[in-house]
A = this chain, B = another copy of it.
Amino acid sequence: MNSFRFPYTSVYSHNIWLRDHCRCPKCFHPATKQRLLDTFEIPTDIAPLHIEAKVEGLEVTWPSQDPHVSLYPWSWLQRHSYDPSLSGKDASQEKVLWGSTIQKSPPTVAYEEVMAKDDQGLFKWLSNVDRFGFSFVSGVPETPEATEALSERIGFIRETQYGRFWEITSDLAKGDTAYTTLALGAHTDNTYFTDPCGLQLFHLLSHTGGTGGATLLVDGFYVANIMKELHPEAYDLLSRIPVPAHAAGESSALYRPSPPSGYPVLGHDAFTGELTQVRWNNDDRSVMSHLTSDLVEKWYDAIRTWNKCLTSPDSQYWVQLQPGTAVVVDNHRVLHGRSAFDGRRRMCGAYIGVDEYRSKLAVLSEKFAPDPVLVATEKIPLSTANGRSIWNAAL
């Protein structure tokens, strides 16, 4: 075990861990950011020949044919310390949990800004989504083409059984109630996918000859937070019991997640314990054949409580969309729905994968909101190759 002293604490790490995380160009490909070192060739009893605290970081010399020198920047060591863990969470922005009062000033950004080449407006838009779970875009030309171009600012569009960029009208074209005039309660999309779409963008192009069709948004993280406080047992069940789901309205497709038992309503990061995903569509739920007998009534009580919190007026943000305003929703956090309508309503939109969205946000953050570790390691030789620091928090 090695110990390093930070201003207020000491940190310990194992020799095998340090050796495995060497980022010299022989051990870590500076351009591809992939490990070159053969982890399995490290002797189990490896020990440093020499350790030295330098200004820029901890320098460790390892025994080998030619002595091998590794440098670990201080800020990087602190970020990744595990004994004790000094920063379990990512340095992401604080999330703003919201209820119905969000209607007073919902996060909005202008189309022109988002489309500007300097990417600052795009960063603002995606930062809104990161903080609030959704954001409007105002001033969007009322065409599918402009809406598609807006979607593609984030990343490539994710193709599904509904196509790539889609238009929906109320013709039941896709064997799904989304393609009707029915009211839809607050839900997330694609509970029947292994990886539900990360973002959903939609834009009402026109609504003629009828009324209704207001849009409902509910912050699932806000509601989950209330559940956790007031109904911890129900919260626990929703976090543990996998829920199977299916999309089976067309004879040519039969979707369900892998593994088929599905995922719990509330998903958490296995390490940080942080809530990371809400999956909820009671209409697409399959047979609950895997509840143990003692949990059946408890689980039904838990979803009843969840539904009650979701449908509370305090949680619901209702908005009548107008042509020219698109909205993007984090489908792993914010639930959406609509009221029934009549007349002809033309809606277009697209899905974007959670990985594409997160990738774009990470790339823009490097530029517009650099992480303290990157700033601290900027001047260390060989830190940056191919436009990216090897000390980036994601690596």
Contact = CB atoms under 8 A, between A and B. Distances in A.
Interface of A: 12, 14, 16-17, 20-21, 29, 31-36, 39-40, 44, 79-83, 85, 88, 90, 156, 158-159, 161, 172, 175-177, 192-195, 198, 242, 246, 248-261, 263-264, 267-272, 274, 276-277, 282-293, 296-297, 300-301, 303-304, 307-308, 332, 353-355, 358-359, 362-363, 366, 386-388, 392, 394-395
A252 B362 CA distance: 10
Given A258-B276, A386-B175, A386-B250, A82 B282 contact: no
Contacts of A32: 172, 175-177, 248-249
A83 B292 CA distance: 7
A80 B258 CA distance: 18
Q: What 5 pairs between A and B have smallest CB-CB spacing?
A: A251-B387, A195-B195, A259-B269, A261-B271, A80-B289
B395 A82 contact: no
Contacts of A272: 259, 261, 290
B388 A254 contact: yes
7 contacts: A34-B249, A39-B300, A39-B304, A82-B291, A255-B359, A261-B270, A261-B272
Given A82-B290, A176-B34, A293-B83, A358 B258 contact: yes
Contacts of A355: 192-194, 255-258
Nearest to A80: B289
Given A248-B33, A251-B386, A388-B254, A287 B21 contact: yes
A286 B80 CA distance: 11
A85 B291 CA distance: 9
A194 B90 contact: no
A296 B14 contact: yes
A287 B175 contact: no
Given A259-B270, A261-B272, A288 B35 contact: no
A90 to B, nearest CB: 6
Given A387-B251, A392-B248, A358 B256 contact: yes
Contacts of A392: 248, 254
A14 B44 CA distance: 55
A374 to B, nearest CB: 12
Contacts of A250: 386
B14 A388 contact: no
A215 to B, nearest CB: 20
Given A32-B172, A35-B282, 4 more contacts: A39-B282, A39-B304, A85-B289, A256-B358
A297 B83 CA distance: 13
Given A253-B359, A289-B82, A358-B258, A33 B276 contact: no
Contacts of A39: 282, 300, 303-304, 307
B40 A304 contact: yes
